[in-house]
Structure 1
Amino acid sequence: MKQISTRFSMAVHTLSLIDMCPLECTGDFIAASVNTNPVVIRRIMSMLKKAGLIEVRAGVGGAYLLRKPEQITLLDIYRAVHAADENQLFGIHGDSNIACPVGRSIEQVLQQELLDAQHVMEQRLARTTLDQLNEQFAMTSSSIEQ
């Protein structure tokens, strides 16, 4: 069973931290917050940089957003950390038995349904910005502290 990648949530976490505290956002700082290995975060930051979402300060540490948080959508982040060939949320098992009435046509029949579902998900991600999430993080944090 193929598991949906956690890179997306880690990338959102990373970008939110960079927005909230850019001077402290070294790979180690972010990795401690995400509770993962710094190498994983450096890979994610490299993908975000390649996508034009962040710039990393060489030598002094830290990173900063290249666009305002209200201009970065969840779809931008999703696309940044998923290669074009794995941007399909759903996969279809291969090597089905062509002698089976389902096996011989499962891909053809199911493919459009899955593409439509992917499209709906992407439309939803495009409606939410990093800024909107950061506001929710701040509200949730303040209610937990009380």
Structure 2
Amino acid sequence: MQISSRFTIAIHILICVDLFGRDEPATSESLAGSIGAHPVVIRRILGQLRRAGLITVARGREGGAHIARPLEEITIADIFHAVESIGDDRLFSFHENPNPSCPVGRNIHNILDGHLASIQQAMERTMESTTLADVIAEAREQMGEED
């Protein structure tokens, strides 16, 4: 299992918007330079974040992306749900055709479903308890150590 890079790109975008957006517009081009991704990818993710109500995007001289809510009110779970689509709310995919003639194949869902649900719930609780404010505070700390 691997979560796509959209999630970490979205967090990177939001950190840059908060840290640098007051000094210069946070555009898809400027963000792409920090992230190392094509501006089209950035625009797509900005659109997802905008639709989720996490950012606003304006055109013109004072344009660019702006965080729409207080940092303390945006959780990592909010960001994850804005950019990742997990079908039927399950993080883990199951192989489609376990062999019903095999005792393991016949029982694999009974064996794993509860464990996988517990793992996903633990991850979601952690994501819900971590705010964008927490991550940005850590970014400021790390960047201060670089100076």
Indicate whether the TM-score tops 0.5. yes
1:15 aligns to what?
A: 14
| Deviation larger for 103-112 or 11-20 | 103-112
Contact 1:79-1:87 within 8 A present in 2 as well: no
Q: Which residue of 1 aligns with 2:27?
A: 26
Counterpart in the other structure of 1:43: 44
Alpha-carbon separation, structure 2, partners of 1:131 and 1:90: 28
Give the match for residue 125 of structure 1. Answer: 127
1:19–1:69 Cα contact (<8 Å) kept: no
Root mean square deviation, CA, Å: 1.6
For the residue of structure 2 that corresponds to 1:24, the secondary structure is coil
Structure 1 alignment gaps of length 5 or more = none
**Distance in 1 between the 2:35 and 2:78 partners?**
20
Stretches of structure 2 lacking an aligned partner (at least 5 in a row): none
Residue correspondences, number: 144
- Cα displacement (A) at 1:59: 3.4
Q: CA deviation at 1:125?
A: 0.7
Q: TM-score, normalised by structure 1?
A: 0.90
Q: 1:36 aligns to what SS in structure 2?
A: coil
The change in CA–CA distance for 1:39 and 1:71 in structure 2 (over 3 A counts) is same
User: Secondary structure of the residue that 2:7 maps to in structure 1?
Assistant: helix
Q: Could you tell me how far 1:139 is from its partner in structure 2?
A: 0.9
Counterpart AA for 2:5: T
- TM-score w.r.t. the length of structure 2 is 0.90
**Structure 2 match to 1:56:** 57
